[in-house]
Amino acid sequence: MEKKNLDWANIGFGYHETDKRFVANYANGAWDEGELTSEANITMNECAGVLQYAQTCFEGLKAYTTEDGRIVTFRPDLNAQRMEDSCKRLEMPVFPRERFVQAVTDVVATNEAYVPPYGSGATLYIRPYMFGISPVIGVKPADAYQFRIFTTPVGPYFTGGAKPLTIKVSDFDRAAPHGTGHVKAGLNYAMSLHAIITAHAEGYDENMYLDAATRTKVEETGGANFLFVTKDNKVVTPKSESILPSITRRSLMVVAKDYLGLEVEEREVEFAEVKEFAECGLCGTAAVISPVGKVVDHGKEIVFSSGMEEMGPVTKKLYDTLTGIQMGRIEAPEGWIHVIK
């Protein structure tokens, strides 16, 4: 299939409507067969559960063109599992994992012309999501739901590319203990908007959220997990029950241990020890890894030894290895690459 004539290198990280999307409806205790449709707009009642009580969750993954010309996605089974966890926490019906992966496959295949070519730096972003669509006026779960997947070609998440970010320690909390921080609920992201707009207005790229209970431990940003590298090249990621379990972060820990031979730790990270790390990065589906050069805590600066000019050496090896696996340049662990065609 001939590719769309798009400026792949400058497409940006935004929404570009593609030809087809997947839609399935849940009613009377069961999901229908679902279908691919060209209709990008959604019609719902004014009292729909998603509009009244924000009963919605979502996922994010990407499709890539590999070096040998295949179209693939990265570990979609883990997105299916994470969405199942989100649905259970939000009292929503689970969309079966095998149907989730098949729907991803079908949507990408039918929008093949929008999958950016190898080497362009762009990817096809895939957004599965579910929401309560039936009218709800009392506070309770909806009776009917819609599950959808759309795609959009995107460039790099952070427009500065690999230039290290400057982030601030936020005065806001992202998630509470025993709350919903570990699931991908839409409301979690709505509640982070004020904090990120505030950070941008103050000249920062992102926020570092601390734990809500003690405000002494590193949690995550509004849309990515933290990854730190010690001065002796140990890779450390924060552990907390209120952190979203990033698929990219989990994959990077395997890459660090099994491909690069580095020691890895997932543990609580005290903010007081951040100044001792040599490198810092933000990892997630959208960004893969974005290096952090500086953390500002109410005027006090922590500048990582990796500096403000480029990725630190270990972060770069992690980035190059994972993207090499995704793009087919490096052999992947079994089950990581799902071939569309």
pLDDT tens-digit readout, 300-332 = 999 998 888 889 999 999 999 999 999 999 999
Cα separations in angstroms, 243 against 172, 173, 282: 15, 12, 13
Our count of domains for the chain comes to 2
Q: Classify residue 159: in a domain, yes or no.
A: no
Lowest mean pLDDT among 43-47, 103-107, 115-119: 115-119
Domain that holds residue 274: 165-322
pLDDT of residue 120: 87
147 and 33 in a single domain? The answer is: yes
- Average confidence score pLDDT of the chain: 95
How do residues 46-67 score in pLDDT, each as one tens digit? 999 999 999 999 999 999 999 9
Does residue 327 fall inside a structural domain?
Answer: no
146 and 75 in a single domain? The answer is yes
175 with 96, same domain: the answer is no
Please give the model's pTM, rounded to 2 decimal places: 0.95
Co-location of 235 and 112 in the same domain: no
Share above pLDDT 70 across residues of the chain, in percent, rounded to a whole number: 98
Within a domain: 92: yes
Same domain, 286 and 176: yes
**What pLDDT band is residue 119 in, cutting at 50, 70 and 90?**
confident
Task: Please tell me the predicted confidence (pLDDT) of residue 54.
Answer: 97
In-domain check, residue 336: no
* E strand or H helix at 251: helix 247-254
Give domain status of residue 60, yes or no: yes
Cross-strand bridge partners of residue 168: 207, 296
Residues 279 and 230 in one domain: yes
Signed CA dihedral, 262, 158, 17, 70: sign only: negative
Residue 338 included in any domain: no
Q: 191 is written with which tokens?
A: 């509640």
The answer on 78 and 182 residing in a single domain is no
Residue 179 is encoded by which pair of tokens? Answer: 């709350």
The reply to whether 217 belongs to the active site is no
Task: For residue 238, give the CATH number of its domain.
Answer: 3.20.10.10
Residue that is last in its domain, among 154, 180, 200: 154
pLDDT band with cut points at 50, 70 and 90 for residue 157: low
Q: How many CB atoms neighbour CB 227 within 10 A?
A: 28
Phi-psi region of 114 (alpha: psi -120 to 50; beta: other; left: phi over 0): alpha
Query: pLDDT-based confidence at 160, cuts 50/70/90?
Result: low
Point out the catalytic residue in the list 20, 62, 168, 184.
184
Are 57 and 112 found together in one domain?
Answer: yes
